[in-house]
C-alpha cells in the first residue's frame, strides 16, 4: 500500500478540532506478554482509521498506525488503564496506557469504531433505516406535511390518525430498560433515553424529549414518560427513535442543556457515551394486544445487542398494576433500585416498580386488580375538563401546550401518574391591546373636555395649552404602541430577553399556565394550576429612582407644595372627578333613550309600556342625580368661576375641599320653582347656591313627569269604566283622542327634563374637567409619566389576572360551592413574589405591589357568547374596569342565576414576597428589608379581611371537603407569626400563603423577575410538596421527583423557550445563598442570559 508522506505529515499537523480524538498515551510494542521497551509518552491523534504518534503536540508525526484488520483488547480490572491493539498480520501488538480509567474507556471505544469495517456497519444500518422510511411513504410525495387540523381542511388525511379523547394528549408512554451492557464490566451506568420522532412525510429526525437520568443500575425504570399534546402531528405511521446514553458527568453533559441541530449527533466527549438505540412505529404500540413493546437495543452499527427497552402505553385514569420479580442491589452506592419485568393490566397501563432500599411491593391477586380498576373508573377527571363543549373557549385562550408525564410511587407502594402541562396564552397580547385602546379613547375624551372649558384667564389658559400639548404627545405614544403591537405575529408570549423592549412594555413577561393533573389509585383526580409570569414592572423605564410605590408617594408630597401655581385636589378628589365624568358619559344617553321610549309609549296609548318606560327612566335619572351629590362638583364650579376672566363674586370665592364643605353645606333638594339657566355665569351674575337649584331641577322635572303619567293612567282607567260599557265605537274614538292628549301633555315635561339634565351635564363636565386640569398642571410632566408607568404595570398584571380567572372558571364550572363563593364573596387572587429588596429588584417589587393593588378596581362579568370569538371584552376607565368573559351556551347554562343575570364579580388580590437569591442576602445583611415586611403585613390584613368575609357569607360546608375552618384559622395564625418573626429568607411565608389560597378556592400566581429560573424552582417545589402532602408521594422519592421535574419537566422547556438554552441562569456561588429546596439539580444550571 502506497502513502504520500507529505500529505500524511500535513494531516498530522492540522488544528485540534479536525481530529476524532487526541491526547497523551504511553505506547510501546508487545510480543506475547513481554514489552519490547518501556512505554514512552506520545501525543496521539486519531483521524478516521489513522492513528498518528508524535513526541509532543507540536512535533512531526514519528509513526502512523493504520487501524485495519485489528481489534482492541481492553482489560476489565478497576485499576488497569491500558488497552492492546492486536493485528491480523502478525506484527507486534501495540500497547497503549491512558492517564485514567475514563480516558482509557474513551480511547477503547474510539479505536474500536475507527476501522472501515465499523464504518461499513454504520452505513448499512443507516441504509436500512432510510429504506424503512421510504417504504412508509405514500405515492403522493409532493404533498407538504401539515398538522392534522390543516390536513383535514384539504381533504382526506394521508396518514392514519390516533383515536383519542377530546383535549387529551394523542399519545403517552413510559419507558424502562433491562440488562444494559456497559463498556466495562464493573461500571455502574447512569442512563437516560433521548426520544426522537421520524415524521412519515419527512426524512428529518426531530429530537422531542428526554427522560431523567437514573443512576447506578443496568435496569433503569424511568419516572419521566413521554407525552404528545392534542395538536401534535403524530400518526400510526410515525416512527419513534429511542437512544440510550450513559452519562459520565452530569455537570459536563452539555448536549442535554443546549440546542443542537436535530440531525447532528453529540460528540462522544461531552459527558455522555452512546449505548444503543431502537425504533418502533406508533401504530405497533397502539395496536399491540398488551399495549406494550419489548425492543432490542443495538449499537450504531446494528451488530451488537446492548439490552432491551420496554415501551408501555399510558392512559390517564386507568390503574397501573405491577409485580416485582426481583430486586437489584449491585452495590451500596446504587441510588435507585429497579424491579422488572413489567406486566400488563386489564386497564391498559403497564407498570414497573421502583423503590429506594424499601421492601418488595405486595403482589396483587386478580380479584384485587379488578377491584382497583373498578375503583379508579369511578375517580374520573373533573367534569368539563375534557368535554367538547369547553374546547373552543379554552383554545381561544391557551396556545402551544407542552406536556410531560411522570409516574411516582406512593407511601403505600402504589403508583400515581402525573401529567404536567404548560401553555402560553393569547391574552398576553389581547388584554394589553384592548387596554391601550381604552386608554386612547379615555385620553381623547379628556383632551376634548379640557378644550371645552371655555374662556379662561391668561394664567389658566396658558396652563391648559401646556397640559393639552403634553397630553397630545402622550396620546400619540399610546397610538404608536398600539400600532406596533398590531403588527406582532408569531409567539403568544413575551420572552424574558425582551422585557426591556419599548414596543412590548405593556406585555406581561413569560406568562404561562402551569398545570399538574394527578391521578392517584385511591384518591379522586385533582388539578393544580399556577399562573407563572414575570413581575409586573416598567423595565424599559428603569428603576434608578425606585418603583411606583416610592414614586407615587414622592409625587404626592411635591404636588402639595405647588398650590401657588394651581389648586390642589387630593387623589381621592381627582378619582371622584373621573368617576363623575364616567357616570355622565354613561347615564346621559341612557336617560335620553328612555325618555324617547316614554314618549313613544304615550303616542301609542299603551299603559303597560308607559309604566315600564317610566320605571326605567326613573331609575336612571335617580342614579344621575345621585352622582352629583358630592360637594366636589360645587366646589369645583366656584374654582372654575374664579378662573374666568374678570370674575366678581357676591361671596368670597375661596375653593374649599369637599371635606370642609361637607360639614356646613347641605343640598337643597326641592327648589321652589323650575327655571332654566344659561351657561356658567360670569362677573357678578354668579351665585354660589346656583348649582343647587340647577342640580335639583332634574329631580323636580322627573317628579313632574311621574305625576303627569299617574294622572293620565288614572284618568284612562276611570274613562274605560264609564264609557266602555255604553258605546264601544265611541270608546275607541276616545282612545285615539286620548293618545294624542298623552303625547301632547308629556312632551313639554320630557323636553324640560332633557334641558335640565343638559344644563347639569354642561356645568358638571366643565367643573370636573377643571379638577383634572389642576391635577395635570401641578405635576407636568411627572404626572403623565407616572400614569404611563402605572398603565404599563397594570396592563401586565391584568393580562395574568384575566388568564387566571378564565382558567379557574372553566375548571370549576361543576363546583357549585365555588360558583356560590364567586358571586357572594368574590375571588381570592394570591401572588407569590420571589424578588429581592436590593438594587433594581426593589424597584420591581414596588411596581409589582402597586400593580397588584390596582387589580382591586377590576370586576368580572360572565356573558353568553354570541359568536365564535370567545376572547374577553374589556370596558371601563382607569379607575374602574369590567372584564366580560364569554362562555358557550352549554357552559353558560351551568352558572348560577345571579351570575347569568350579570352580577359583577369582585377580585381580592394579595401579594406575599420573600427574596431568596444572593441579592436578598446582601439586603438582609447590609441593606433594608422594610419594603418586603410592609408589603407582607399589609396583604396579611387583606387576606384576613377576605377570610372573615368568607366565613360570614358562606356556609362551612363550602370549604374543600378535606378542610375544616379550624385548619384555616391555624394557617392564618401561623402565617401571622411567621411575618412578625422577620426571619431571613423565611420561605414558609410563601408555603402557608399558597396553602391558604388553595383551601379558599383562589387563583395562584408565582412571579420573579422573568418567571424563568426562581419561579421554576418554586413551582416544581410546590408541585412535589402537594404530591407528598395530598397524594402520599413516597418520602424517599421526593428529591428524585423534584429533580425529574426540574431536569426534564415543563419548566426547563420554559427556559429553552426564553433563552434558547436548557440551563437555569444560576451559578454555584449564587446557589449557595438559595434555600436548600430551591436549588436545581447538578448539570441544569450555568451561564445563560436572563
Task: Indicate which residues carry an active-site annotation.
Answer: 1008
Closest CA relative to residue 409, chosen from 266, 304, 521, 308: 521
What does residue 607 show for φ and ψ, rounded to 5 degrees?
-60, -45
Contacts of 1072 (CB under 8 A, 6+ apart): 918
Q: How far apart are CA 308 and CA 175, in angstroms?
A: 11
Which three-class secondary structure string do you get for 740-774?
Answer: HHHHHHHHHHHHHHHHHHHHHHHHHHHHHHHHHHH
Q: How far apart are CA 61 and CA 55, in angstroms?
A: 8
Closest CA relative to residue 538, chosen from 502, 580, 484: 502
The HSE-up count of residue 755 (CA atoms within 13 Å, CB side) is: 13
Q: What is the separation of C-alpha 727 from the centre of its chain, rounded to a whole number of angstroms? A: 76
Closest CA relative to residue 211, chosen from 360, 336, 325, 298: 336
- Residue holding cell 406508533? 282
Per the CB < 8 A criterion, the answer to whether 256 and 201 are in contact is no
What does residue 29 show for φ and ψ, rounded to 5 degrees?
-90, 150
Residue 445, all three cell numbers: 375624551
Which three-class secondary structure string do you get for 13-78?
Answer: CCCHHHCCEEEEEEEEEEECCEECCCCEEEEEEEECCEEEEECCCCCCEEEEEECCCEEEEECCCC
What does residue 510 show for φ and ψ, rounded to 5 degrees?
55, 45
Apex 615 CA angle, 613 and 621, nearest 5: 100
The HSE-up count of residue 24 (CA atoms within 13 Å, CB side) is: 9
Inter-CA distances, 690 with 675, 681, 748, 754, 760, Å: 11, 10, 24, 19, 11
Q: How far apart are CA 241 and CA 1085, in angstroms?
A: 27
Q: How far apart are CA 1023 and CA 43, in angstroms?
A: 52
Q: How far apart are CA 387 and CA 167, in angstroms?
A: 7
Per the CB < 8 A criterion, the answer to whether 342 and 374 are in contact is no
Closest CA relative to residue 1048, chosen from 231, 409, 213: 213
Per the CB < 8 A criterion, the answer to whether 341 and 178 are in contact is yes
Per the CB < 8 A criterion, the answer to whether 591 and 815 are in contact is no
In 580-612, which positions are buried (b, 16+ CB within 10 angstroms) versus exposed (e)? bbbbbeebbebbbebbebbbebbeebeeeebee
Residue 1080, all three cell numbers: 436545581
Q: How far apart are CA 197 and CA 133, in angstroms?
A: 12
Cis (ω within 30 of 0) for the bond into 781?
yes
The two beta strands, 873-877 and 905-913, are: unpaired
- Residue holding cell 428603569? 542
Name the percent of the chain in helix, strand, coil, to the closest 5.
45, 20, 35
Residue 829, all three cell numbers: 387572587
Closest CA relative to residue 235, chosen from 201, 196, 278, 283: 283
Q: How far apart are CA 26 and CA 80, in angstroms?
A: 13
Amino acid at each position: 500500500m502506497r502513502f504520500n508522506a507529505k500529505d500524511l505529515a500535513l494531516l498530522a499537523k492540522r488544528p485540534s478540532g479536525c481530529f476524532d480524538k487526541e491526547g497523551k498515551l504511553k505506547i510501546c510494542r508487545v510480543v506475547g506478554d513481554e514489552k519490547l521497551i518501556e512505554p514512552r509518552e506520545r501525543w496521539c491523534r486519531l483521524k478516521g482509521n489513522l492513528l498518528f504518534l508524535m513526541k509532543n503536540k507540536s512535533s512531526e508525526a514519528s509513526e502512523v498506525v493504520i487501524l485495519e484488520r485489528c481489534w482492541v483488547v481492553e482489560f476489565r480490572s478497576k485499576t488497569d488503564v491500558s488497552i492492546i491493539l492486536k493485528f491480523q498480520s502478525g506484527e507486534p501488538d501495540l500497547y497503549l496506557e491512558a492517564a485514567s480509567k475514563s480516558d482509557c474507556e474513551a480511547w477503547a471505544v474510539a479505536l474500536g469504531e475507527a476501522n472501515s469495517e465499523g464504518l461499513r456497519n454504520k452505513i448499512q444500518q443507516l441504509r436500512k433505516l432510510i429504506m424503512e422510511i421510504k417504504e412508509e411513504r405514500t405515492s403522493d410525495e409532493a404533498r407538504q406535511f401539515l398538522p392534522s387540523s390543516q390536513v383535514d381542511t384539504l381533504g382526506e388525511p394521508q396518514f392514519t390518525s390516533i383515536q383519542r379523547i377530546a383535549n387529551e394528549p394523542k399519545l403517552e408512554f413510559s419507558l424502562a430498560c433491562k440488562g444494559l451492557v456497559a463498556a466495562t464490566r464493573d461500571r455502574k451506568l447512569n442512563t437516560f433515553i433521548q426520544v426522537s420522532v421520524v415524521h412519515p412525510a419527512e426524512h428529518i429526525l426531530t429530537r422531542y424529549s428526554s427522560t431523567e437520568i437514573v443512576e447506578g443500575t443496568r435496569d433503569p425504570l424511568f419516572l419521566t414518560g413521554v407525552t404528545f399534546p392534542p395538536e401534535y402531528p403524530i400518526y400510526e405511521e410515525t416512527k419513534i427513535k429511542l437512544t440510550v446514553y450513559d452519562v459520565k458527568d452530569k455537570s459536563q453533559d452539555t448536549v442535554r442543556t443546549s440546542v443542537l441541530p436535530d440531525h447532528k449527533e453529540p460528540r462522544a466527549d461531552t459527558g455522555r457515551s452512546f449505548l444503543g438505540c431502537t425504533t418502533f412505529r406508533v401504530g405497533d404500540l397502539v395496536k399491540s394486544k398488551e399495549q406494550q413493546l419489548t425492543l432490542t437495543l443495538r449499537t450504531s452499527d446494528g451488530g451488537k445487542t446492548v439490552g432491551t427497552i420496554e415501551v408501555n402505553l399510558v392512559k390517564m385514569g386507568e390503574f397501573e398494576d405491577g409485580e416485582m420479580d426481583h430486586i437489584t442491589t449491585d452495590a451500596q452506592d446504587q441510588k435507585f433500585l429497579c424491579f422488572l419485568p413489567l406486566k400488563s393490566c386489564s386497564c391498559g397501563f403497564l407498570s414497573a416498580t421502583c423503590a429506594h432500599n424499601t421492601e418488595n411491593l405486595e403482589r396483587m391477586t386478580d380479584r384485587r386488580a379488578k377491584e382497583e380498576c373498578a375503583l379508579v373508573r369511578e375517580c374520573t377527571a373533573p367534569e368539563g375538563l375534557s368535554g367538547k363543549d369547553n374546547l373552543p373557549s379554552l383554545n381561544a385562550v391557551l396556545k402551544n401546550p407542552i406536556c410531560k408525564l411522570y409516574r411516582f410511587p406512593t407511601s403505600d407502594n402504589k403508583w400515581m401518574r402525573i401529567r404536567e402541562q404548560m401553555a402560553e396564552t393569547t391574552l398576553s397580547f389581547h388584554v394589553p391591546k384592548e387596554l391601550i385602546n381604552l386608554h386612547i379613547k379615555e385620553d381623547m375624551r379628556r383632551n376634548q373636555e379640557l378644550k371645552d372649558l371655555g374662556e379662561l384667564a391668561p394664567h389658566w389658559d396658558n396652563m391648559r395649552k401646556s397640559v393639552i400639548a403634553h397630553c397630545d404627545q402622550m396620546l400619540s405614544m399610546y397610538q404608536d404602541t398600539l400600532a406596533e403591537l398590531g403588527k406582532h405575529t408569531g409567539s403568544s408570549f413575551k420572552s424574558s430577553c425582551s422585557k426591556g423592549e419599548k414596543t412590548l412594555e405593556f406585555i406581561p413577561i413569560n406568562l404561562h399556565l402551569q398545570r399538574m393533573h394527578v391521578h392517584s389509585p385511591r384518591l379522586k383526580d385533582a388539578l393544580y394550576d399556577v399562573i407563572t409570569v414575570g413581575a409586573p414592572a416598567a423595565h424599559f423605564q428603569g428603576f434608578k429612582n425606585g418603583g411606583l410605590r416610592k414614586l407615587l408617594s414622592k409625587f404626592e408630597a411635591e404636588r402639595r407644595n405647588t398650590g401657588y401655581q394651581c389648586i390642589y385636589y387630593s387623589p381621592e378628589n381627582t378619582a371622584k372627578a373621573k368617576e363623575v365624568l364616567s357616570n355622565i358619559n354613561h347615564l346621559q344617553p341612557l336617560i335620553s333613550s328612555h325618555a324617547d321610549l316614554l314618549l313613544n309609549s304615550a303616542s301609542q296609548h299603551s299603559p303597560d309600556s308607559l309604566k315600564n318606560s317610566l320605571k326605567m327612566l326613573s331609575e336612571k335619572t335617580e342614579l344621575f342625580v345621585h352622582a352629583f351629590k358630592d360637594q366636589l362638583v360645587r366646589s369645583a364650579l366656584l374654582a372654575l368661576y374664579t378662573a374666568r376672566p374678570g370674575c366678581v363674586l357676591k361671596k368670597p370665592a375661596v375653593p374649599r375641599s369637599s371635606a370642609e364643605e361637607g360639614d356646613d353645606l347641605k343640598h337643597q333638594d326641592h327648589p321652589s320653582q323650575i327655571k332654566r339657566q344659561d351657561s356658567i355665569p360670569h362677573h357678578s351674575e354668579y351665585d354660589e347656591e346656583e348649582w343647587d337649584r340647577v342640580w335639583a331641577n332634574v329631580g323636580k322635572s322627573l317628579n313632574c313627569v311621574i305625576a303627569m303619567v299617574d294622572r293620565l293612567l288614572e284618568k284612562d282607567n276611570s274613562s274605560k269604566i264609564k264609557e266602555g260599557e255604553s258605546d264601544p265605537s265611541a270608546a275607541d274614538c276616545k282612545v285615539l283622542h286620548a293618545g294624542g292628549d298623552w303625547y301632547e301633555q308629556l312632551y313639554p315635561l320630557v323636553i324640560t327634563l332633557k334641558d335640565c339634565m343638559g344644563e347639569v351635564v354642561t356645568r358638571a363636565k366643565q367643573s370636573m374637567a377643571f379638577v383634572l386640569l389642576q391635577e395635570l398642571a401641578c405635576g407636568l410632566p411627572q404626572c403623565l409619566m407616572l400614569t404611563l408607568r402605572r398603565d404599563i404595570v397594570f396592563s401586565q398584571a391584568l393580562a395574568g389576572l384575566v388568564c387566571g380567572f378564565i382558567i379557574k372558571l372553566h375548571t370549576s364550572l361543576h363546583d357549585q360551592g365555588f360558583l356560590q363563593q364567586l358571586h357572594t364573596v368574590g375571588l381570592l387572587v394570591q401572588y407569590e413574589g420571589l424578588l429581592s429588596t436590593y438594587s433594581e429588584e426593589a424597584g420591581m417589587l414596588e411596581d409589582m405591589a402597586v400593580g397588584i393593588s390596582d387589580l382591586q378596581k377590576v370586576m368580572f362579568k360572565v356573558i353568553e357568547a354570541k359568536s365564535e370569538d370567545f376572547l374577553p371584552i374589556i370596558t371601563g376607565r382607569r379607575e374602574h374596569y369590567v372584564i366580560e368573559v364569554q362562555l358557550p351556551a352549554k357552559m353558560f347554562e351551568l352558572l348560577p342565576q345571579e351570575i347569568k343575570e350579570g352580577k359583577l364579580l369582585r377580585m381580592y388580590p394579595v401579594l406575599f414576597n420573600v427574596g431568596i437569591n444572593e441579592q436578598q442576602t446582601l439586603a438582609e445583611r447590609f441593606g433594608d428589608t422594610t419594603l418586603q415586611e410592609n408589603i407582607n403585613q399589609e396583604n396579611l390584613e387583606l387576606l384576613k379581611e377576605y377570610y372573615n368575609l368568607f366565613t360570614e357569607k358562606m356556609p362551612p360546608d363550602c370549604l374543600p371537603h378535606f378542610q375544616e375552618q379550624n385548619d384555616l384559622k391555624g394557617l392564618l395564625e401561623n402565617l401571622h407569626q411567621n411575618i412578625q418573626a422577620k426571619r431571613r429568607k423565611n420561605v414558609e411565608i410563601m408555603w402557608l400563603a399558597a396553602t391558604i389560597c388553595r383551601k379558599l378556592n383562589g387563583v395562584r400566581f408565582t412571579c420573579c423577575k422573568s418567571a424563568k429560573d426562581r419561579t421554576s424552582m418554586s413551582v416544581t417545589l410546590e408541585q412535589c410538596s402537594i404530591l407528598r402532602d395530598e397524594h402520599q408521594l413516597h418520602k424517599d422519592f421526593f428529591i428524585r421527583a423534584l429533580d425529574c421535574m426540574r431536569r426534564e419537566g415543563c419548566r426547563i422547556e420554559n427556559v429553552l423557550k426564553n433563552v434558547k438554552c436548557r440551563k437555569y441562569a444560576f451559578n454555584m456561588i449564587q446557589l449557595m445563598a438559595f434555600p436548600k429546596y430551591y436549588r436545581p439539580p447538578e448539570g441544569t444550571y450555568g451561564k445563560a442570559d436572563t
